[in-house]
Amino acid sequence: MKRTALIAAVLVVGCLTALSGQNAKSFDSMVDFGLNVAQIDTLVANQQEKQIDADKYLLLNGAVASIEVIRPGEKDFLAVAELVAGQWIGLRKVDLYRVYLIFSGPEFFKRLPARVPTPAPEGIIQMNDQLLVVGRLAGFDDGLDGRRAAYINAVYVRNLP
């Protein structure tokens, strides 16, 4: 966990150093702050995926609804998690939106263990966790419910309280 925290700190410091010379306009050219989980899911549902810029980073938050570890080995680790966000419609209905996060590489191996120890160490990603995610669009495919969905390559993930 200390190694993961160190790697994350180095990445953040590196990004801040790289961005310190950037003005707001050039920062906005790298990150799309205008899209959230609901908007991305709606664009995909309406076949308007081209409005999502695959060259920009996305900053998303939501809750983990499912996790599937595809390759459990540390060196070639691969997992997919469903990130959901909801919106209340009146007092009785919630519209649910989702994207899928792709976790690839050894940096996510310890954060998505096959069996979560009790108590779970800080930084472990598990069902119902609230996450803040920085990632880039990887593509589109069918989700667990059979509907077309956006898949996002996770670059940085932070558990939220």
Does the structure show a pLDDT above 70 at 4? no
CA distances (Å), origin 66, targets 29, 78, 80, 101: 32, 14, 8, 10
pLDDT at residue 116, rounded to an integer: 81
- Summarised one tens digit per residue, pLDDT across range 75-119 is 999 999 999 999 999 999 999 999 999 999 999 999 998 888 788
- Summarised one tens digit per residue, pLDDT across range 18-70 is 555 566 777 778 999 999 999 999 999 999 999 999 999 999 999 999 999 99
Which residue shows structure tokens 């961005």?
Answer: 19
Confidence of residue 126 (pLDDT cuts 50, 70, 90): very high
Retrieve residue 68's tokens.
């599937």
Retrieve residue 63's tokens.
């809750």
Q: What pairs with residue 153 in β-bridges? A: 102, 136
Domains of the chain (ranges, CATH numbers):
2-160 (2.40.50.140)
Does the structure show a pLDDT above 50 at 7? no
For residue 19, the surrounding DSSP H or E stretch is helix 2-20
pLDDT at residue 19, rounded to an integer: 52
Does the structure show a pLDDT above 90 at 121? no
CA distances (Å), origin 9, targets 6, 149, 157: 5, 31, 12
